[in-house]
Amino acid sequence: MDTLIDAAALKSRLDDRESGQRTVLLDVRWTLGDPHGHDHYLHGHIPGAVFVDLATELAGPAEPGRGRHPLPPAEQFQECARRWGISDGDAVVAYDDSGNMAAARVWWMLRDAGFGPVQLLDGGLAAWREAGFGLAAGAEQPPAGNVTLSAGAMPAIDAGQAASWSRYGLLLDARAGERYRGEVEPVDPRAGHIPGAVSAPTTGNLQADGRFLGPAELRERFERLGYRSDVPTAVYCGSGVTAAHEIAALEIAGFAAALYPGSFSEWCHDAARDVVTGEAPYGEDVETAAGRSTGSVS
């Protein structure tokens, strides 16, 4: 199944009462610094969509040793998926209102849990509105589903692997360029990036309207950043959320990549791990960069 579905195709699928496969819609509105995703959902969402709370349903409690949004236990995620109404045999479409930066998290997690038919609404809620389709207000309360989920179906790496990844592979940093360079760090205790990582902000995956670039454009982008079929690729971000967006973009390009779930928020909490700053993958003097500290931990 394709990574993306457009608004017209989704509307057609939802209107097809004779389709043998039910589609579950997940609204994953969340952005860093905006805790009001549920309020936005209640004000207006795609009819039938269930709200997914990224902070409590797509992540466990923040821990210095695991990052700000550690992956929840598999049993907990399965319980949430059933509460959203997902059953075995269903299809899932996820969206948000920020270019799928948050929705990609549940896309990756369902894929990792062995659930195959899951897509992102290309352009998110904005594309649905632009197509002239209506919204519903209030909360949706679907009957519980019976989906059975596992874990480990998608490639992932840990901090130990991230430390040596750039020696033989490509490590992409999906955060904004200024955070990669160490010019600003709004939430984590140290500014900069993992030594050897290449800056690849997720915003570069999107067109101005929030839709993903086409496959050819994405292939060109990632090849320019160093992607090669014989070079293993891994992606991290601040807390493992927008890195999933980068993995979706890589998949659209026809490329595979592993996720570092703990990402920089896990990495930088260990003082024994080097953090470097600047434009270059290995940055400036490691000892100088490792001692920098800005912002506060969320």
Could you list the active site residues? 237
Q: Got the DSSP string for the chain?
A: --SEE-HHHHHHHHH-TT-SS-EEEEE---BTTB--HHHHHHH-B-TTPEE--HHHHSS---BTTTBSSPPPPHHHHHHHHHHTT--TT-EEEEE-SSTTTTHHHHHHHHHHTT---EEEETTHHHHHHHTT---B-S---PPP------S--S-B--HHHHHHHTTTSEEEE-S-HHHHHTS--SSSSS-SB-TT-EE--GGGGB-TTSPBPPHHHHHHHHHHTT--TTS-EEEE-SSSSHHHHHHHHHHHTT---EE-TTHHHHHTT-TTS--B-SSSTT-S-HHHHHT---S---
